[in-house]
Amino acid sequence: SQKIEQNSEALNIQEGKTATLTCNYTNYSPAYLQWYRQDPGRGPVFLLLIRENEKEKRKERLKVTFDTTLKQSLFHITASQPADSATYLCALEGGYQKVTFGIGTKLQVIP
């Protein structure tokens, strides 16, 4: 069956360091992968999309990589700040625009 795995354990990181979050998937052949940020009690907010033919995508302090051989995406936040503390979700389309989300990884940036 199709599965998206994110490290459900919280990730604690010191302010200024680079945070790296992982998204692994099985039984998908996604043409693209998306990352969202979610704050407590709020709806997810789109951050970045990366296509299968793109190895890396950047937006300001954010960087996403996509390895279709390893079936893995890495999400990096450089120079992390306390305001980056949130849950980060990866999402894949499983066909027919049916978008499935991972469980998310909670990031805590410690001042």
Partner 1 sequence: EAQVTQNPRYLITVTGKKLTVTCSQNMNHEYMSWYRQDPGLGLRQIYYSMNVEVTDKGDVPEGYKVSRKEKRNFPLILESPSPNQTSLYFCASSPGGGDSPLHFGNGTRLTVT
**Interface with partner 1: number of residues (CB under 8 A):** 25
CB of 58 to partner 1, least distance (A): 17
Among 9, 69, 83, 96, binds partner 1 (CB under 8 A): 96
Query: 76 to 95, contacts with partner 1 by CB under 8 A?
Result: 89, 91, 93
CB of 21 to partner 1, least distance (A): 14
Query: 15 to 54, contacts with partner 1 by CB under 8 A?
Result: 31-32, 34, 36, 41-46, 49, 51
Q: What is the DSSP string of the chain?
A: --EEEE--S-EEEETTSPEEEEEEEES---SEEEEEEE-TTS--EEEEEEETT-SEEEETTEEEEEETTTTEEEEEESS--GGG-EEEEEEEE-STT-EEE---EEEEEE-
Interaction between residue 98 and partner 1 (CB under 8 A):
yes
CA angle, 53 then 56 then 59, to 5°: 125
Contact positions toward partner 1, by CB under 8 A?
A: 8, 31-32, 34, 36, 41-46, 49, 51, 89, 91, 93, 96-104
